Amino acid sequence: MKTKLIVVLCLFAGLMWTNSFAQDNNRKASQGWFSGTYWSPVFCDGEMVDFLEGGTLRIHYVTRIKPYVYYKEMDQLKGEVTSSVTGEVFQVREIDKVLYTPDMYVVSWKFNLIGNMGTHYHGNITMDMRTGDITVGKTVCN
């Protein structure tokens, strides 16, 4: 019985010791939820056709930080927003990625916007937060 107890204690101590070295606190992820509003220009064929802002969103975020090296964040957005051009109400489904290093600060987002009047936009946009330059990726507008 003593031998079994010693083996179990050693096994447990070994597992705890291994787990403590497996965790690198410099790359630890944190996550959570918050509510927010929406902001995005909408481009079709390289031309801005709509601008969406405001609304109500529920946002889930996951961040990873390695001090003095990088900050990464991924957000999942769900909610609705009203077009400032047509008044159409859009259901928003979007994934945002943020990358911040000492050399760059870029946000990219993939969106799926479904309007209550039949309009449907989906695509991706990248924005350099230091210069404000927007690069429009593949976008489909129906």
Question: To 10 degrees, the CA torsion angle through 39, 58, 123, 89?
Answer: -70
Q: What is the pTM of this model?
A: 0.75
Give me the pLDDT at residue 28, please.
Answer: 82
What is d(CA 125, CA 77) in angstroms, rounded to the nearest whole number?
A: 15
How many Cβ atoms sit within 10 Å of the Cβ of residue 111?
21
Question: What are the pLDDT digits (tens) for 85-116?
Answer: 999 999 999 999 999 999 999 999 999 999 99
Question: What are the pLDDT digits (tens) for 50-82?
Answer: 999 999 999 999 999 998 899 999 999 999 999
Who's near 53: CB < 8 A, 6+ residues apart? 37, 38, 39, 40, 81, 84
Question: What does pLDDT average to over the chain?
Answer: 84
Give me the pLDDT at residue 141, please.
Answer: 94
